[in-house]
Amino acid sequence: MATVHSATYELLRKQGITKVFGNPGSNELPFLKGFPEDFQYILGLHEGVVMGIADGYALASSKPAFVNLHAAAGTGNAMGALTNSWYSHSPLVITAGQQARALVGVEAMLSNVDATQLPRPLVKWSYEPTWSGDVPRALSQAIHMATQPAPGPVYVSIPHDDWAQEIADDALLLADREVATAGLPSTAQLTNLTDRLNNASNPVLVLGPDVDAYQANAMAVELAEKLAAPVWVAPSAPRCPFPTRHSCFRGVLPAAVAGIASRLEGHDLIVVIGAPVFRYHQHAPGSYLPKGAKLIHLTCDLQEASRAPMGDALIGDISEMLNLLVQKIQQVDRAMPEPLPLPAPHPDSQDGPLAPEVIFDELNALAPEDAIFVKESTSTVTAFWQRVEMRHQGSYYFPAAGGLGFGLPAAVGAQLAKPNRQVIGIIGDGSANYSISALWTAAQYQIPVIFIILKNGTYGALRWFSRLLDAEDSPGLDVPGLDFCAIAQGYGVEAVEAKTRDEFRTAFNNALAAKRPVLIEVLTTTIEP
């Protein structure tokens, strides 16, 4: 007979899941015992880092990532990172080792008390099998639930004495199962949708991360061109769904009610595709929509559709819905939007820190065309989108919930998933410290990420909010005295400081040629988000 251990590894193998991201404790050792040679264990030094690496891998690969956490403490350590995974629709299968079944009730050390409640509401499904024989089936369910629309993290708590238990051979049938979504708009729904778009006098598209996740970027371009419609990226977008130098591209919407309405003024039909309606941040009250405007929401997420405060929603496969729309929409005879003017090259500073715009200009000139940017310098988002051209699917990742600590580990995970594309992590000095030990994983596994630390000695976005909220006298806004070159070298990563444009250019070109992880620390000025 098979064991829970052998049946689980066969299930993972058949599903193409052969990487395990974790930081083990005693509860996890029975699962890791006899670790198969065709699997790879990716060790992170903190569960928040483990989650971030897995998140980056899942986002870049569009495949489920298997995470192995340590009981309640490890799950708690990972919860901050889990907020980003939930809002970015990352397909993560999160497992946590539980104490032996006989000891859970007496709350022996390392018992995960009420384990299924711990990660909620940041998972699609949370479960602890009631007997050992249900573990492979539960993990099969977890894999399929994580990957079906809308994708997202799931959680399974597994008592450590379950792994050695024998199990019926029927459990091996789980390994060959396929679960797929086949929902498409009905003929009536599609006709109504296309009629509204064809009859709109001034439509606008707002595209979100699921367009990129479903690899529907090219269809979004075709739809925009047929409608001659301007395209905005949804506020706080964690992915880039549209080429940033296309003539239809208008930029990223602000994450505020009044700000969005003002940007969309004059449009009679707003079509939001693959994004929530909307992810607000700044409290700037106003009307949800410009006067006279109607909104249509195309989404893969029932929850996003249900909670939107306005508009009509259609839930389905983003790629298939866009494909059908492109076939049905008529080519309009309106003029295409004028392309946005390119920003002028930012001048060098004569003395002192570099402006972040200088770094972005250099990256735009020097980075490979298909580079992947993992961005977690929250105060420089606008400048980055204006100055760095992105034209390929999967070129940009950003923390979807705004929780810090995403950038460093997600860059490591994305590079693992896409070894043939250069990953460049652009990280603020405040953000970097939440997950700095990701550098160790990059060094140990020789994952050739280029980490660029923008060091301005403060929490830049928080500084901006302190002015907005009349709270500039708040403590804890600055982070002086950090030496990222020394820290990186301590973790085994080559590091260099760049003080001028020429020094950055040289350091970056050397990092491209190095084919190993490199950190570049740049002293920068602060700018408005």
- The whole-number pLDDT of residue 529 equals 66
- The whole-number pLDDT of residue 460 equals 65
State how far the Cα of 58 lies from the Cα of 55, in Å rounded to an integer: 5
The closest alpha carbon to 220, from 201, 202, 243, 239, belongs to 243
Told to judge if 28 belongs to the known catalytic residues of this protein, a careful annotator would answer yes
Percentage of the chain beyond pLDDT 90 is 85
Told to judge if 47 belongs to the known catalytic residues of this protein, a careful annotator would answer yes
Question: Which member of 22, 25, 52, 430 is catalytic?
Answer: 25
Strand runs (DSSP E) across 380-419, as ranges? 396-397
Question: Which member of 76, 262, 281, 389 is catalytic?
Answer: 281
- What is the CB neighbour count within 10 angstroms for residue 292? 9
- The whole-number pLDDT of residue 462 equals 65
pLDDT per residue as tens digits for the range 219-238 = 999 999 999 999 999 998 99
Is residue 406 pLDDT above 80, yes or no? Answer: yes
Told to judge if 25 belongs to the known catalytic residues of this protein, a careful annotator would answer yes
Told to judge if 402 belongs to the known catalytic residues of this protein, a careful annotator would answer yes
pLDDT per residue as tens digits for the range 277-286 = 999 888 888 8
Residue 451 identity? F
Is residue 181 pLDDT above 80, yes or no? Answer: no
Question: Which member of 47, 128, 362, 521 is catalytic?
Answer: 47
Question: Which member of 26, 186, 306, 474 is catalytic?
Answer: 26
Question: Which member of 70, 89, 144, 267 is catalytic?
Answer: 70
The closest alpha carbon to 119, from 162, 159, 154, 143, belongs to 154
- The whole-number pLDDT of residue 97 equals 97
Is residue 102 pLDDT above 80, yes or no? Answer: yes
Structure tokens given for 128: 């602890």
pLDDT (mean) for 113-119: 95
- The whole-number pLDDT of residue 251 equals 95
Question: Which member of 10, 28, 362, 521 is catalytic?
Answer: 28
Question: Which member of 259, 402, 425, 428 is catalytic?
Answer: 402
Contact (CB, 8 A) for 165 and 3: yes
State how far the Cα of 405 lies from the Cα of 378, in Å rounded to an integer: 12
State how far the Cα of 220 lies from the Cα of 319, in Å rounded to an integer: 9
Residue 193 identity? L
- Kindly write down the DSSP assignment for every residue of 240-254, as one continuous string: --S-TTSTTEEEE--
Alpha helices in 291-433 (DSSP H): 302-307, 318-328, 356-366, 381-387, 407-417, 429-432
State how far the Cα of 65 lies from the Cα of 413, in Å rounded to an integer: 10
Told to judge if 283 belongs to the known catalytic residues of this protein, a careful annotator would answer no
Told to judge if 362 belongs to the known catalytic residues of this protein, a careful annotator would answer no
Length of the chain: 529
pLDDT (mean) for 149-173: 92
- The whole-number pLDDT of residue 163 equals 96
- The whole-number pLDDT of residue 467 equals 74
Q: Nearest 5°: phi and psi at 509?
A: -65, -40
Is residue 464 pLDDT above 70, yes or no? Answer: no
Q: Nearest 5°: phi and psi at 298?
A: -105, 120
State how far the Cα of 110 lies from the Cα of 154, in Å rounded to an integer: 21
